[in-house]
Amino acid sequence: MKKTVFVALAVSALLGACQYKSVAAPELSARDAEYIALVPKFDTYLPYLPYEIGDPTGQPPGTIYIDTKEKFLYLVLPNKKAIRYGVATGDEAYGWTGEAVVQRKAEWPRWTPPAEMVKRWPHLKPVAGGMNGGPENPLGARALYLFQNGHDTLYRIHGTNEPETIGRSASSGCIRMRNIDVIDLFNRVPVGARVVVV
């Protein structure tokens, strides 16, 4: 009996130490609420919801750290904390790693598929000239544009109209987030923020 009680207390203490702090959803504008309501609903796997956790990255506060293998984006906070978001990353052939900076931010951004993407996927020809922001646009609610040495990498951290892809390798190299999560990140991160992709 004593052993059972001890084991139960030990497990309870261990689980208590591992609990994550939920992150409150950001306030939405009327346009955000209208557009997000038009995106297909999908129940995100619990670990891919945003949580405040102990910082596993060792990076300075303000850094965005993306673990492409585990499918998590971390926003490093002061006091050795981080917000962890679930993401979708590039298919193996299209993934990338390295460092960049957030050079530009946009709400409900216009999307123009790169020429190589249109060549690879001819069904994109009708939008080769660009697609206005909105619920059907694959960049979703927000986009953070990543640059290296002053040059556009053509990679983005952005929302998605395919929330079922979170936690998978599904993009052409960009980092996809749930729309509600990319709005939260967008609100927290300034232009010039450092991004590390591993």
pLDDT-derived band at 19 (thresholds 50, 70, 90) equals low
Q: For residue range 111-153, list pLDDT tens digits in order.
A: 887 777 778 777 777 777 788 899 989 999 999 999 999 999 9
pTM of the model: 0.85
Residue range 19-197, CATH number: 2.40.440.10
Q: Which residue has the higher pLDDT, 74 or 12?
A: 74
For residue 187, what pLDDT is reported?
98
For residue 184, what pLDDT is reported?
98
| Statement: residue 6 has pLDDT above 70 | no
Cα-based distances in Å from 28 to 31, 49, 170, 181: 8, 18, 27, 11
The DSSP result for 9-58, as a single string, is HHHHHHHHHHPPEE-PPPP--HHHHHHHHTSPP----GGGS-EEEE--S-
For residue 94, what pLDDT is reported?
65
Q: Would you please indicate which residues are annotated as catalytic (active-site) residues? A: 158, 174
| Statement: residue 44 has pLDDT above 60 | yes
